[in-house]
Structure 1
């Protein structure tokens, strides 16, 4: 059995969107509620933080250097220091009620960012895509909390999850990567946990962080659970693959909305864990501007 370890001596508030930089051999992630991007270089132990004026829901590394960052009010391009360079678009949701949440890139280097509908009174969130020419396009609605974005190795399927509604979807993609009608991939019941952030491996299996479920699970392309990995904390938020061979699973977790008693009992809530795995993960594309 592979051994679960903490990445280093760190706990955050709401760490999300772990992203492995192949060029840097370093892990980046956001702490949404702190408005921060973090970087850790495992080989040297070097650690640094970039600070922003708003929540940072998700981000991607840019081919031209720097980041594309989905903040509460808008999506921005930044330089390597995190300084805002160009506003791409406003938040297409009501930013007072819906902040950006999960996101990432597809094989064509386009950026996707979903929102989380704060009031919870109906499915008011959405998923927006930023194309390579920086044009925004809303591609899915009827979501409570957008999460779980990942793409199959054959580029035929986009996976997403709606965490509060306990469902993972898959959406067929045509040759241009345009989405068809989404369908239910897996529905979760009481006690299973809620599907949060995710990643796909080279065999096309979907790895989901099960929020409130104490575990990570690996699902076949048909939606069958193949394996699970228990955690010492209740709420993992997302996973990504990285390392030299893309066979290290990085797992972000949170301590959001936990009282002092739970944090004291489970002090690693908010830590980042690493797990060696037998199958390599798919590499994340850089955001490409043309």
Structure 2
């Protein structure tokens, strides 16, 4: 039985190169997301229809809300504190100062308030990216083998399983989160052939099912906690980067998309590519957690 109750529709026409990192922020009842290549942070208020944007000082892969206020932003230059009131970005730490060709790409917050995020080769070729955890001391801890393009991570509702994606390899990995916060028992959760699309950002719902945006796959997929494909949500554009659950019941799904891979002619023929989309579902997401550690 399908959990999707409406078809995806564009709610913000941006035609952006690479939208990413959607996150529902309960404290202001709004969706926040980024345009990586456009160096932009966006905020969408579904109640009022208000749309706001901020300029980032570098490529920005995500913004996630912090308990102390504001956000932690993942920039090409490292982690920074973002204050929407002033528009300022204050550097926190650079996880890979020895890899200037890398950038931060995606992130999530564990139920206990720690930040997990990934890095990647901005040229999308060298295997120099990794999953990192931000420690309470502000030090970033590499926690995965190297990949060209990492996506995720995402956590199960109980925080005991971490999912992350090797996008070019087409593999979604699952790991156990140990008591010391190290990742153990890394295993293949699901594999997607390149001809079906490249797995992009993962998100987990209240039933523990994993949702994956498909880049060049024209769909979002929902997998059971056992890795079984349960549902495919078709989209009118071909590159869906990630979804987030929002709204008062967390049953409105927002999806970021991209058009950077399209020619000028293809972009003209697909004007919704690079927009923010939404659709409705019957199974809610999981309420977000504020970052409490290391910031």
Q: Give matches, 1:157-176, under 5 Å.
A: 157-176=161-180
Task: Supply the distance in 1 between the matched residues of 2:83 and 2:72 (Cα, whole angstroms).
Answer: 9
2:112 corresponds in structure 1 to 108
Task: Supply the distance in 2 between the matched residues of 1:44 and 1:173 (Cα, whole angstroms).
Answer: 39
The 3 A distance-change label for structure 1 pair 240 and 103 is same
Deviations 1:102-132 (A, max 9, x none): 1121112111221122345542211221123
* Structure 1 residue 83 corresponds to structure 2 residue 88: yes
* SS class of match (1:244): coil
Structure 2 runs not aligned, ≥5 long = none
* SS class of match (1:250): strand
* Structure 1 residue 130 corresponds to structure 2 residue 149: no
Task: Supply the distance in 2 between the matched residues of 1:151 and 1:64 (Cα, whole angstroms).
Answer: 22
Task: Supply the distance in 2 between the matched residues of 1:190 and 1:88 (Cα, whole angstroms).
Answer: 36
* Structure 1 residue 255 corresponds to structure 2 residue 259: yes
* SS class of match (2:268): helix
Following TM superposition, by how much is the alpha carbon of 1:176 offset from its aligned partner in structure 2, in angstroms?
4.7
Q: Give matches, 1:266-277, under 5 Å.
A: 266-277=270-281
* SS class of match (1:23): helix
1:139 corresponds in structure 2 to 143
Task: Supply the distance in 1 between the matched residues of 2:122 and 2:58 (Cα, whole angstroms).
Answer: 16
Following TM superposition, by how much is the alpha carbon of 1:230 offset from its aligned partner in structure 2, in angstroms?
0.3
Deviations 1:200-228 (A, max 9, x none): 01111000001110000000011110001
- Cα-Cα RMSD: 1.7
The 3 A distance-change label for structure 1 pair 195 and 39 is same
* SS class of match (2:172): strand
Q: Indicate if the aligned counterparts of 2:115 and 2:293 stay in contact, CA closer than 8 A.
A: no
Following TM superposition, by how much is the alpha carbon of 1:155 offset from its aligned partner in structure 2, in angstroms?
2.0
* SS class of match (2:267): helix
Q: Indicate if the aligned counterparts of 1:198 and 1:240 stay in contact, CA closer than 8 A.
A: no
* Structure 1 residue 192 corresponds to structure 2 residue 196: yes
- The farther-off stretch of 156-165 and 107-116 is 107-116
Task: Supply the distance in 2 between the matched residues of 1:168 and 1:93 (Cα, whole angstroms).
Answer: 27
Task: Supply the distance in 2 between the matched residues of 1:83 and 1:69 (Cα, whole angstroms).
Answer: 11
Q: Name the TM-score, length of structure 2 as normaliser.
A: 0.93
Following TM superposition, by how much is the alpha carbon of 1:280 offset from its aligned partner in structure 2, in angstroms?
0.5
Paired residues in the alignment total 289
Task: Supply the distance in 1 between the matched residues of 2:159 and 2:120 (Cα, whole angstroms).
Answer: 26
Following TM superposition, by how much is the alpha carbon of 1:180 offset from its aligned partner in structure 2, in angstroms?
1.0
* SS class of match (2:185): coil
2:268 corresponds in structure 1 to 264
Higher relative contact order (CA 8 A, sep 6+): 2
Structure 1 runs not aligned, ≥5 long = none
Specify which of 11, 16, 25 is matched with residue 12 of structure 1: 16
1:32 corresponds in structure 2 to 36
